[in-house]
Structure 1
Amino acid sequence: MANSAAPETNRVAELSWREVESALEATRTLLVPVGSTEQHGHHLPLGVDALMPEAIGERVADRVPALLAPPVWYGVSPHHTFKPGTFTVSTETFQRYVFDVCDSASEWGIENVLLLNGHYLAQDPELEVVVRRLRTESDVEAFHVPLVDLFADVAEEIRTGAVSFHASEFETSIMLALFPELVDMAAATAVDPPAESLPLTDYDALGENRVGWALTADDMAEITDAGNIGDPTVATAEKGEALVEAAVSDVAELVAALEETE
């Protein structure tokens, strides 16, 4: 006899296959948190980039019909290997892995995939390619969703630090809102980036970045001893809640529209 009770969670990893089968009657959308495990300064844990999109995905799935996949914990992070605890994989490995994960979900009924990217900026190019492949090869409505693009307008309004590039005001605020027990604000320290950068590049998540560029591990080691770039000491949970709400509401709006077209 089939289990007709509605599952109490949208997390795929916590459901039986029968519960997933039942959930597919209400949604064909899968949220895939994609992050990395890398150094985030003295004050934040290594898993920030996966913890953030997973928590945001959970809030989205509480508002609109969607399933939440287990997060992708390993990303493209060669520039952070100058500190212990960082894992990195090649672009080719990362792209093939994420593609295969999403493609396999299409085999059991998923039609829409949102890649919630917590390691934004650094692995945006890889995920754009994955989205293209999913759309052309797997017949999946796929979207790359870098968190920074979702909360950029709100971040510009509420920021008090001049620079927030890595493990600073924005990420620290979000972690204070979502996982305060994992944040050690007493260890947070401000790190100013170089005074100048090349034209069309900027050491700021909301900066004048108009061309593709990347930092190496040697670059990072020279720029920051602590690991972060910017000032995390100005972060607050209130700022974090505003950033999270901006991201959640935008993703929920997209998911609702996708489900309406089914």
Structure 2
Amino acid sequence: MAEQRRLDQMRHPEVEAYLDSAETPTALIPLGTTEQHGKHLAMGTDAYIPTEICERIAADVDALVGPPMNYGASDMHAGYRGITYLNYRTLATVVRDVAYSLVESGFTDVVFVSGHLTNDYAAKVGANWASHDLSDDAYVYAFPYWDALSGDDMEEYLSFDAGWHANVGETAAVMAIDEGLVDLDEVEVDDPDMPDDIENPAALLDPLLIGKGSFYRVSESGVWGDPSDATAERGEDYFETITHAVAELINEFQDIRADVYKR
């Protein structure tokens, strides 16, 4: 049986044994949302994906995985029925408090891995906030999982060509986790009209999607892209790409910081 790495599923003596033996006791915290992902895809998509990533890489980076945070800074989806969201200040405060308590209890590194674009803004504020109250030996940081991907991989799974939301990448990834969370018979295709005459169209995403109800105004269906070609096999390929990239990023930071943070 695989070694248990989920903090909430471990017994306290097991957690203590990990903290005593790990060279760099690390907690991975998946940050997600509960929001619409079109008619075909589960509302917990943005939590399922980073949770799966964290669980797959935990042994490789010698970390434990905390319970996912399923409520996020997703007020951009206000307008769709049944969604939930926290404001940015609340999420930043939660990130700060979770990080502080984990470091206080024995972890030296706390890494928040987000599956939703605007979670990242609040999470980085919360991580910075925590660092002001912690010793120099503690490291708290946050990033969305796709930050670890190469440009080519982004182009295939998350881009203007592949789509940005409830698209083929997200749909395939969730299918690799549990095909019962996806109904491809309900797929709708939506491709919001974006200008293509600027140097970097992706720079429009932040201002376009900041603000209450902003995505609701962009996409009536809740989809950005064409998810109809998604398969569990494609999702498994996606996870292999993501997990390698995210694990490499975390391991590199653990290796580099000893040389960089000298003062």
Gaps of 5+ in 2: 259-263
**Matched-pair contact (CA < 8 Å) for 1:36–1:49:** yes
Q: Is 2:195 the partner of 1:196?
A: yes
Q: 2:26 aligned to 16, 24, 29, which one?
A: 29
Q: How far apart, CA to CA, are the structure 2 residues paired with 1:257 and 1:24?
A: 21
Specify the SS of the correspondent of 1:137.
Answer: coil
Deviation at 1:224, TM superposition (A): 2.3
Structure 1 residues 84 and 111: alpha-carbon distance in aligned structure 2, compared to 1, 3 A threshold: same
Q: Is 2:142 the partner of 1:147?
A: no
More off after superposition, 236-245 vs 61-70: 236-245
What's 1:125 paired with? 121
- The letter of the residue matching 2:154 is A
What's 1:221 paired with? 216
Deviation at 1:90, TM superposition (A): 1.1
What's 1:63 paired with? 60
Q: How far apart, CA to CA, are the structure 2 residues paired with 1:125 and 1:183?
A: 28
Q: How far apart, CA to CA, are the structure 1 residues paired with 2:158 and 2:216?
A: 26
More off after superposition, 189-198 vs 178-187: 189-198
Within 5 A, what are the aligned runs for 1:1-262? 8-27=3-22, 28-119=25-116, 121-139=117-135, 140-153=138-151, 154-157=153-156, 162-196=161-195, 202=201, 207-209=202-204, 212-216=207-211, 218-257=213-252
More off after superposition, 236-245 vs 182-191: 236-245
Deviation at 1:160, TM superposition (A): 10
- The letter of the residue matching 1:134 is A
Q: How far apart, CA to CA, are the structure 1 residues paired with 2:226 and 2:96?
A: 35
Specify the SS of the correspondent of 2:180.
Answer: helix
| Count of residues in correspondence between the two structures | 252
Deviation at 1:192, TM superposition (A): 1.7
Specify the SS of the correspondent of 1:127.
Answer: helix
Q: How far apart, CA to CA, are the structure 2 residues paired with 1:124 and 1:161?
A: 20
Q: How far apart, CA to CA, are the structure 2 residues paired with 1:111 and 1:226?
A: 43
| Deviation by residue 1:194-246 (Cα, 9 ceiling, x = unmatched) | 243795774xxxx3448644254554334322211111113233332232122
Q: How far apart, CA to CA, are the structure 1 residues paired with 2:158 and 2:77?
A: 25
Structural RMSD (CA): 2.8
**Matched-pair contact (CA < 8 Å) for 2:61–2:250:** yes
- The letter of the residue matching 1:103 is Y
Structure 1 residues 93 and 242: alpha-carbon distance in aligned structure 2, compared to 1, 3 A threshold: same
Deviation at 1:67, TM superposition (A): 0.5
Deviation at 1:25, TM superposition (A): 2.4
Deviation at 1:79, TM superposition (A): 1.6
- The letter of the residue matching 2:53 is I
Specify the SS of the correspondent of 2:190.
Answer: coil
Structure 1 residues 100 and 70: alpha-carbon distance in aligned structure 2, compared to 1, 3 A threshold: same
Structure 1 residues 100 and 158: alpha-carbon distance in aligned structure 2, compared to 1, 3 A threshold: closer
What's 1:3 paired with? none
TM-score (norm 2): 0.84
